[in-house]
Amino acid sequence: DSGVTQTPKHLITATGQRVTLRCSPRSGDLSVYWYQQSLDQGLQFLIQYYNGEERAKGNILERFSAQQFPDLHSELNLSSLELGDSALYFCASSVAIPGELFFGEGSRLTVL
């Protein structure tokens, strides 16, 4: 499958812990986006990278950080986790800016 892949699909952890979510964009896509989906807030834009550099920041908490590596995969690090961080985290990629976003299946994070 040459689409956007995200790992892990599901993750359960405790408050105060740290997790890393990984995203591999579609082949050839230089831009990676992270979104958080919760019942109350819908899809919230967190951060965007283009060819390894941060391009735009949205409502990303200071406890969260991300990076895009030379092979273009991206990681989203979530630390000092709180119950309210439980959500579905989506990664998307695109060829052009602006352009069609291609989404992964998401990583469901549950913080207990």
Tell me which residues touch other proteins (CB under 8 A).
3, 33, 35, 41-45, 48, 55-56, 58, 90, 92, 97-98, 100-105
Complex with other proteins: residue 81 or 93, whichever CB lies closer: 93
Cα angle 105, 109, 111 (rounded to 5 degrees) comes to 170
* Nearest in space to 3 (alpha carbons), one of 92, 70, 69: 92
Minimum separation from the CB atom of position 105 to other proteins (A): 6
Are 8 and 20 in contact, with CB atoms under 8 Å apart?
Answer: no
Complex with other proteins: residue 35 or 64, whichever CB lies closer: 35
Complex with other proteins: residue 12 or 56, whichever CB lies closer: 56
Tokens standing for 104?
A: 């992964």
* Nearest in space to 68 (alpha carbons), one of 18, 35, 22, 10: 22
Minimum separation from the CB atom of position 62 to other proteins (A): 19
Minimum separation from the CB atom of position 15 to other proteins (A): 26
